[in-house]
Structure 1
Amino acid sequence: MRRLCRIFVAAAAILATAMPAFASPAGIWELETRDTRFALELCGDGTQLCGKLAWLSDADYNKQYLPYLDKPMASGLRSDGPNRWKGELHLFGHRMSGTLTQRSADQMTLQGCAFLVVCKSYEMFRYSE
């Protein structure tokens, strides 16, 4: 029994070091197109992720999105594994199921699907903390 306990502790230590520990996802994240920024923060019990549309460039096509500025885009996304949050997103007036996956301290992927068939993926990069 003692040997089994040691093996379990050793395996847990190896797994913990194998999983990357990134900086907090809290901060300002910019889409790869550099025309949109989202403010993300940990919320709820500290493991959930919330966010809002924080900034739009002055490009003409962004005028249609002005009503969504400073509005929530994610409320209480639940942790779905290390550096990954899943739940309902509100992007530019569209409700969809989505996932935010932190790939490194400064890179994140946002994936969203509406009606389970129309899916889109965006790369986001840390703009500031």
Structure 2
Amino acid sequence: MRCWTRIALGLTITAASLAPALASPAGVWELDTRDTRFTLEMCGDGTQLCGMLTWLSDANYNAQYEPYLNRPMADRMTQDAPNRWKGAMRLMGHRLSGTITQNSPNHLTLSGCAFLVVCKTYQMYRMEK
């Protein structure tokens, strides 16, 4: 049994070392629609992800989202895989369960579902580090 434990541990370490290590997702990210920006940072024990809505364009439809400006959108999302965080989010007043996946140093995918039925995916691009 001890041999199987060592093999499993070895495979886990090998798989983790093969996963690409990307730059931290901390920074300012803009949705691909170019009308909304979020600031993300590592929080909690340093492996969790927190975020806040920090900018809205002056498009007319954004006036309805102003009450959510400078409010948390993600609080302590937990890392469940390399470059991927999962947990509860609040987007524009809606509670979602979702993931944020870092695809490259400058590209994130945010996916969330409300009521496990209504789902949406957004592409986000780094504005600054």
Mark yes or no: TM-score above 0.5.
yes
- Output the aligned Cα RMSD: 2.1
Note the alpha carbon deviations across 1:34-63, whole angstroms, 9 max, x for none: 000000000000000000001000000100
Tell me what 2:106 maps to. Answer: 106
Q: CA deviation at 1:14?
A: 5.0
Provide the residue aligned with 2:61 in structure 1. 61
Q: CA distance change for structure 1 residues 23 and 57 in 2, over 3 Å: closer, same or farther?
A: same
Counterparts of residues 77-116 of structure 1 (less than 5 Å): 77-116=77-116
1:12 shift after superposition? 6.4
Q: Which residue of structure 1 aligns with residue 3 of structure 2?
A: none
- Which residue is equivalent to 1:46? 46
Gaps of 5+ in 2: 1-5
Give the unaligned 5+ runs of structure 1: none
Q: Alignment identity in percent? A: 61
CA distance in 1, matches of 2:13, 2:112: 34
Q: TM-score, normalised by structure 2?
A: 0.89
Note if 1:126 corresponds to 2:126: yes
Question: TM-score, normalising length from structure 1?
Answer: 0.89
Deviations 1:51-102 (A, max 9, x none): 0001000000100000000000000000010000000000000001010000
**Count of residue pairs brought into register by the alignment:** 127
Give the drift of 1:17. 4.6
